[in-house]
Amino acid sequence: MASLRQIRGRIKSIQSSKQIMRAMQLVSGSKLKRSQDKLIASREVLGFLDGLLQRVLAATASEYKTTKSTYLAKKKGPKPLTHPLSTPKPDGPSALVIITSDAGLCGSYNTNLVQMAEAYLRRDAARRAQLVFIGKRAHRYFTKRGYATLDAFLDLAGRPNVAKAEQIGRSLIDRFLSGEVSSVSVLYSRFLSATTYKPTVQPWLPIQLDSSTAPQLVSRDSSPTSRRADEPPSAVSDYIFEPSPEQVYEDLLPRWALAKFQLIMLEAFTSEHSARMIAMKNATDNAEELLGELVQQRNRIRQATITKELSEIVGTAEALK
């Protein structure tokens, strides 16, 4: 059984650790709030660019729409827009961007990302995927195991620097356009709430505009439910594009790609601060619980010591009578 001096030393040590962990929890909470504000602003920017893409695609579709008879005879649709960033490359090495933290003390945040990355790389039997690291944790883990490293961006310290995110995004775009890599995917933690984040692998390049970005083409004088199935789709645009929708699309898509990458990095850093805040809160709660147990143990030892001393005094007094 530990002595009273040992228990007092443990109590003092745990109290000091508790103060440090509590301070780190407050710091992480403050960083989380600032990062969340930037994340919300970035989501608004990407939503605005999504709206612009919808208008451009709708205007292009309305420009190339055909009459009902031509549509039924030849089944022609709108002329698709093309861009180097949305054009699939020939078969070649792919790039996987892994975003982890530079520091620890964030629970299972990095472990979950590394495990998902390992599962992704196991499916790549030929090991053609080249890794791009953002953060030290995954970089240290995979470089020791001999994986090909394309690039590494370290010492970001979880700071949501938009300019740095744009610099990294442009370097990846240049590698894609030059044909050095055929595709780029990003593995990161998607931020859901202050207490929830989810490891995710998301394809980034080549850009594939899904249904959430592509416009819903509906004519002005009909609704989706009133238009018959044999009528051609149509689109009406009230916007004037200069010099042309194609040129606007060509300039807009790289901006959309960079905004998407910036949003991904902000989500990853926000998730990191959330994970560290939760980990420090759990550590503080555990320290508080352990302190309670040690205080009870200390009090029991003190009570036993006092009882023993009283018994010795009473026994001595009886013996002197």
Q: pLDDT at position 209, please? A: 67
40-222+234-276: what fold?
A: Pyruvate Kinase; Chain: A, domain 1 (3.40.1380)
Sequence-separated (6 or more) residues with CB below 8 Å from residue 185: 94, 95, 96, 97, 201, 202, 203, 204
What separation in angstroms does the CA of 19 have from each of 22, 23, 26, 32? 5, 6, 11, 20
Sequence-separated (6 or more) residues with CB below 8 Å from residue 265: 99, 134, 160, 165, 168, 188
- Kindly report which listed range (116-120, 121-125, 175-179, 248-252) carries the lowest average pLDDT score: 121-125
pTM to 2 decimals? Answer: 0.80
- Kindly report which listed range (20-34, 82-96, 161-175) carries the lowest average pLDDT score: 82-96
- CA-CA distance, 317 to 296, in Å (whole number)? 31
* The residue type at 88: P
Sequence-separated (6 or more) residues with CB below 8 Å from residue 116: 187, 199, 201
Q: pLDDT at position 305, please? A: 84
Mean pLDDT of all residues in 32-40? 93
Q: Identify whether the C-beta of residue 169 lies closer than 8 Å to the C-beta of residue 261.
A: yes
Q: pLDDT at position 62, please? A: 55
DSSP element (H, E) containing 312: helix 245-320
- Kindly report which listed range (148-157, 250-259, 283-292) carries the lowest average pLDDT score: 148-157
Q: What's the chain's Rg over C-alpha atoms?
A: 30
Q: How confident is the model at residue 124 (pLDDT cuts 50, 70, 90)?
A: confident
- Indicate the average pLDDT of the chain: 82
- Whether 17 shows a pLDDT value over 60: the answer reads yes
Percent of the chain at pLDDT > 90 equals 49
- Whether 34 shows a pLDDT value over 80: the answer reads yes
Mean pLDDT of all residues in 32-57? 89
Helix axes 109-122, 245-320, angle to 10 degrees: 130
Residues 28, 30, 35: CA angle, nearest 5 degrees: 90
Q: How confident is the model at residue 70 (pLDDT cuts 50, 70, 90)?
A: very low
- Kindly report which listed range (73-87, 108-122, 180-194, 240-254) carries the lowest average pLDDT score: 73-87
Q: pLDDT at position 128, please? A: 78
Q: How confident is the model at residue 267 (pLDDT cuts 50, 70, 90)?
A: very high
Token match 């008879």: residue? 69
> Tens digits of per-residue pLDDT, 208-264?
865 444 443 333 343 333 344 343 334 444 677 777 778 888 889 999 999 999 999
Q: pLDDT at position 225, please? A: 38
Helix axes 4-63, 245-320, angle to 10 degrees: 170
Q: pLDDT at position 243, please? A: 78
